[in-house]
Amino acid sequence: MRASCALFLASAILCAALPRKASAQQESGSSAEVRRFESLSEEQKQQLRERLRQFKARPVSEQERIRRNLERWRQLPPADRERIARNFASFQKLTPQEQLHVRAAFQRFGSLDKERQEQLRTQMRAYLEANPEKREQLMENLRKWRQMSPERREQLREKMREHRRR
């Protein structure tokens, strides 16, 4: 997964090497990309060449998937790209064990039905918009929750369901 993410970001840099539809705007962008490539150190150029070789060694279906993702990346507004880049940088700072935990949580999230995913997104937005004291209280509650036995968690879930029904 880490190699795949790194390859995706490298492919964004290598966009001049990947075929695109020709247009006047892309021609000027292409020359800017060439100048950017030429301004790199020899070591950086070699790293990009190696990543391009790795890209070309992948199955055609995966190359196409990467190209589609790259095109989606190009279509994103700059603010979204910056947010994603910050998130990726934060993810890269995690330990391998923490990264595995995040990946597992992401897979569990993806397996939920759309309604539950939206509920969790709403809760996360509320958490992010909360003041620092409230966020700290939420984190403390989470720590306590994780320390509870599965039986105790189920008891509390049932209490919450009962409370909602009232």
Report which secondary-structure segment, H or E, holds 76. none
Residue 116 clears pLDDT 60, i.e. is over it: yes
Q: Looking at the domain assignment, is residue 7 inside a domain? A: no
* Domain total of the chain: 1
14-64 confidence digits (pLDDT tens): 443 444 444 444 445 578 888 888 899 999 999 999 999 999 999 999 999
Residue ranges making up the domain that contains 121: 114-166
145-159 confidence digits (pLDDT tens): 889 999 999 999 999
Q: How many other C-beta atoms can be found within 10 angstroms of the C-beta atom of residue 11? A: 22
Angstrom distance (rounded) from CA 8 to CA 67 = 9
Phi-psi region of 130 (alpha: psi -120 to 50; beta: other; left: phi over 0): beta
Q: Looking at the domain assignment, is residue 137 inside a domain? A: yes
Q: Looking at the domain assignment, is residue 93 inside a domain? A: no
Q: Looking at the domain assignment, is residue 4 inside a domain? A: no
Q: Looking at the domain assignment, is residue 73 inside a domain? A: no
- For the full predicted model, state whether its pTM sits above 0.95: no
Look-up: residue for tokens 């001049």?
16
Indicate the residue type of 29.
G
Q: Looking at the domain assignment, is residue 121 inside a domain? A: yes
Q: Looking at the domain assignment, is residue 147 inside a domain? A: yes
